Chain A
Amino acid sequence: MAVDTAPAPATPAALLDEKRTRKPIGGAVLAVIGAVIGGFALGKLGDRSVTFTLNLTLPDASWTVPAAPTVAILAALAAAAGILVAIGVPTRWFKLIMAAGATCLALSLLCWAMSQEGVVFRIESILAGALFLSLPYMFGALSGVVCERSGVINIGIEGQFLMGAFFGVLVASITGNSYAGILGAMIAGSLLTLLLAALATRYQVNQVVTGVILNLLALGFTGFMYDQLKKTPGYNNPHGVSNISSWLESIGLGFLGDIPVIGPVLFRQSIFVYVGLGLVAVIWFLLYRTRWGLRTRAVGEHPAAADSMGVNVNRLRFWNVAAAGLISGFGGAFFTIANNLAFNKNMTAGLGFVALAVMIVGRWNPLGVLAGALIFGFTTQVSRYLDTAGNSIIPGEFLQMLPYAVTLVVVAGLIGKAKAPAADGVPYNPGDK
């Protein structure tokens, strides 16, 4: 009567099996794309070349490599990674191989694009610009992380951006102080999330629907106020609002800024860059290393558990969501204050939704958000760069589609499944057991 209730111990073979990951479809797709690009490169690129420069720190340095073999080798590497993944690789190497394959593929496409006549690969400008352009995604996605980790879906990042952009520049031009403008932007963004917080926690409204409506509300409200302001004496100059001081553009950090590559990228940037990167670290630390973070994550995963331990679920959610608006409002100020631009109707142009995508691609984790925002910022930067350079082989629109396509692939689980906090979007009613 030997009764074995323990789970059957896994055999060594089974353990080996578990440690391998195989993605036949994803791998095959990568391999085929890599092979096709490599083949085309050898056939089509001829004797074109790619020129790299460090234009900001070492203007004289430049390297030129022949385009066809470079693209072909990178594409072949990507194809090889694809084949490896298709036949199976040890799980701990899986992510690395996948990332390397994707990077090689991206680099090969980039080199192809940069092989155009008269186009120079200005590494420093492109990277610095990429970091700068990743900021709205970073701020928006971080705001999303704070909300959704507490279990409230924030689909209204776009609206918070608009509010931040509008009130940021308005306050800045009234006070003549950009910092006051940023503060105004934060408060404006927070006003919108405050509404979301109240509706989501107190009135238990469908959060996705609310978010969509709040976007519309922000669009209508800022547009309405913008039109009214244009009629108001003192605000009706050609920019719509008066100009603001532009010294926010970049703050150099002395000699650090002269280091090749990383200098211009990290140490000659606008205050927005420093704040954005700082926020990534701070929010990561808060989420994973503090009491607030533990409770926040608990409330997003299993509110009833948190409630039974005396955590006031809806109060925590309320304040977290309200605070998240400060971050996305700050992100809104990017559009006007950081770029030294006047407000324009619907000037955020859907970037709030990309931020939502960045949050998902980043798996609701600040570090993932950083990586996702950089990738998206890089794509945006490259597509702009190529657009201005003219007649790129890949139409700029398709490059701009890339972030959205990547997000589709991620939510479809083709590259691992993105798992949202379990109670994300589910209202908590303490009366329910």
Chain B
Amino acid sequence: MRLELRGLTKKFGSFTADDNIDLTVEPGQIHAVLGENGAGKSTLMNMLYGILEPTSGEILIDGEPLTFSGPSDAIAAGIGMVHQHFKLVGPFSVADNVQLGREHTRGGGVLSAKAAREAVLDVSERYGLRLDPDAICEDLPVGVQQRVEIVKALSGPETELLILDEPTAVLTPAEITELLEIMRSLAASGTSILFISHKLKEVQAVADTITVIRRGKVVAELEPTASETEMASAMVGRAVTLTIDKTPAEPGEPRLEIEGLTVVNGAGVKVLDGLDLTVHSGEIVGLAGVEGNGQTELARTILGLLKPDAGQIIIDGVNVRSHTPSRRIADGLGYIPEDRGRDGVIAEFSVAENLVLNQYKDMPYAGGGVVRADAIRQRALGSIAEFDIRTQSPNELVSSLSGGNAQKVIIAREFSRPRHLLVAAQPTRGVDVGATEFIHQRLVTERDTGTGVLLISSELDEIYAMADRIAVIYNGRIVGEVAPDTPREVIGRLMVGASMEDAEHADPDEVEVTGPEAEETPAAEAAETSAPEADDTPTTDSGTSESDSNDEQSNGGDR
């Protein structure tokens, strides 16, 4: 199938998400659309799949202009889509998920389980996608769930074009490699693929043609032979510098000592498995790792929101096992949560109220159970000036702030009270460049005053720029601690679970993406080397949190 987009435009009010996009996907071709978060990729795909209606422009399939009023029209036209956040009904079997919306019936609307099962097996055999049609989706690993999504997309009547929207975001390195392989074989069998990503290496590895979009506009058409720098600068539109002025660290006494920490989640999985980690005063320890390897749980356990099943956490020499989160906070633990909208701020509260969220009952903000509005207001005015929070007044609701400014509220809250230890999880996610630099600078200042800083980030660039020491987490344990001048390849290998020796002695040639023989490593490398994400618009920010909740819905059982 040949897909052509002519001048496709989508406006949300005064905001133009996609502006005059032209794009052509040739039959059997893998066409990558590369762009930062918020560049308009998902909007584009949703127009293609009939979820959103274009403001103007045309969609042509095999030269024929079509309009979609809903996903069913797109499916009928031969388009299948694998969503970034899986659209799988958890308690359903694979076969039921695949047949949903185009059920196999024996007449009278009665389902034929046999036909549904056979249809799944048929597709999975045809494309070499192994699946058990009777397995319950919520019990499957994320990678297999994605395979279900692909089979679902391919099961449409004569699906000839497959849209993959950020398909690697939640996958393990091995699963990524497998996915890229599947994409190649699909293309070889004649299916056109539109591949949306912001990860350069993956795109380079599989794409036949690359279209780069930035701020809703096509800014470049590249060949896969283009260099990474070329792609990155087209995508970001500016030189990417992530260096921070900082002096060498002067580590002091241990602030945080974690020994043999084990946490078992509700599903009985060990999300932390005998993890050991120490953070000293005056150093930034960067915790690198593919997302979902226990980082979230580690941060929550340090704060006391999760109870350890074994091991201990010692803060400033004191075992905090019996301490509540509020006690730990009062004792000097600073905490920047990874999900700002969910855990960081209360959107319906004012800036001033959010600034004292974890001090609301302490002097001078309250006394005798009574809130002191004046003291809170004074504090807010001070913080707004010091941290350059762009707001009209302390009484403005946080929901009206941009993502970067909301993050500054959290930073201001945590940095304006006595603390010895700071846990910063993804502190610059979804924050614009200016705010990112500001936050990085504050983290360094923080370190220099003697605080121990644990920086959890899935952006390896950020880890490299900030950390004095890098710990790599994999499957709930620290698999290596290395200096910040360690080559990326070594850390990349550690991130997929290689031992220290293996990681250090790896052959650097293997890192290039060459083909199926390359195994897990290249994909892992691709997973980390994501471009810095920037996002200046508050609208997309809220969109992120919404889709996150969708994500929980679809595969809450696995995370």
Binding site for B on A (CB under 8 A): 1, 3-5, 7, 18, 289-295, 297-298, 301-302, 304-312, 422-423, 430, 432-433
Contact = CB atoms under 8 A, between A and B. Distances in A.
B497 A298 contact: no
B90 A5 contact: no
Given A289-B111, A290-B109, A290-B110, A433 B70 contact: no
Contact of A432 (B91, B175, B546): B546
- Nearest 9 A/B pairs, CB to CB: A310-B72, A309-B101, A305-B87, A5-B174, A291-B103, A1-B502, A291-B109, A308-B87, A302-B89
B110 A297 contact: no
Given A302-B88, A422-B553, 7 more contacts: A1-B498, A290-B105, A290-B111, A304-B550, A305-B97, A306-B101, A309-B87
Contacts of B243: none
Interface string B540-551: 000100110010
Interface in B495-511: 496-498, 502, 506
B244 interface: no
A297 B137 CA distance: 14
A294 B99 contact: yes
A4 B175 CA distance: 12
A309 B75 contact: yes
14 contacts: A3-B497, A5-B175, A291-B105, A291-B109, A294-B96, A298-B100, A301-B90, A302-B88, A309-B87, A310-B75, A423-B553, A433-B42, A433-B547, A433-B550
B121 to A, nearest CB: 19
A323 to B, nearest CB: 15
Interface string B92-104: 1000110111110
Contact of A301 (B49, B75, B89): B89
A289 B110 contact: yes
Interface in B134-149: 141
Interface string B63-86: 000000011100100000101001
Nearest to A306: B100
Given A292-B109, A307-B71, A308-B81, A433 B100 contact: no
A293 B547 CA distance: 27
B497 A295 contact: no
B141 A308 contact: no
Given A290-B111, A310-B70, A433-B543, A4 B92 contact: no
Q: Which range holds the interface residue count of chain B?
A: 35 or more
B141 A309 contact: no
Given A290-B109, A310-B70, A433 B174 contact: no
Contacts of B101: 295, 306, 309-311
Nearest to B73: A310
Contacts of B172: 5
B502 to A, nearest CB: 4
Contacts of A432: 546
Nearest to B113: A289
B100 A305 contact: yes
A291 B115 CA distance: 13
A298 B496 CA distance: 35
Contacts of A295: 100-101, 103
Contact of B141 (A7, A304, A311): A7
Contact of B89 (A3, A289, A305): A305
A294 B42 CA distance: 28
Nearest to A288: B111
A298 B152 CA distance: 15
B219 interface: no
B111 A433 contact: no
A310 B71 contact: yes
A309 B105 CA distance: 17
A402 to B, nearest CB: 31
B51 interface: yes
A307 B52 CA distance: 13
B546 A433 contact: yes
Most buried by B among A1, A291, A304, A423: A1
Contacts of B556: 422
Contacts of B86: 305
Given A3-B496, A302-B553, A308 B51 contact: yes
Interface string B170-194: 0011110000000000000000000
Contacts of B358: none
B90 A302 contact: yes
Contacts of A18: 268
Contacts of A293: 111
Contacts of A4: 497
Given A5-B520, A291-B109, A309 B42 contact: no
A230 to B, nearest CB: 47
A220 to B, nearest CB: 34
Contacts of B71: 307-310
Interface string B483-523: 00000000001001110001000100000000000011000
A47 B269 CA distance: 57
Contacts of B105: 290-291
A433 B46 contact: yes
Contacts of B90: 301-302, 422
B29 interface: no
A295 B89 CA distance: 10
Interface in B148-183: 152, 172-175
B546 A305 contact: no
Contacts of B428: none
B436 interface: no
A291 B546 contact: no
Contacts of A297: 89, 91-92
A122 B527 CA distance: 72
Nearest to B152: A309
B407 interface: no
B396 to A, nearest CB: 25
B109 A309 contact: no
A1 B89 contact: no
B402 interface: no
B209 interface: no
A311 B174 contact: no
Contacts of B49: 308
A145 to B, nearest CB: 15
B54 to A, nearest CB: 15
B405 interface: no
A306 B83 CA distance: 13
A18 B268 CA distance: 10
Nearest to A286: B109
A302 B51 contact: no
A312 B69 CA distance: 12
Contacts of B497: 3-5
Contacts of B141: 7
A1 B97 CA distance: 37
Contact of A309 (B91, B100, B546, B554): B100
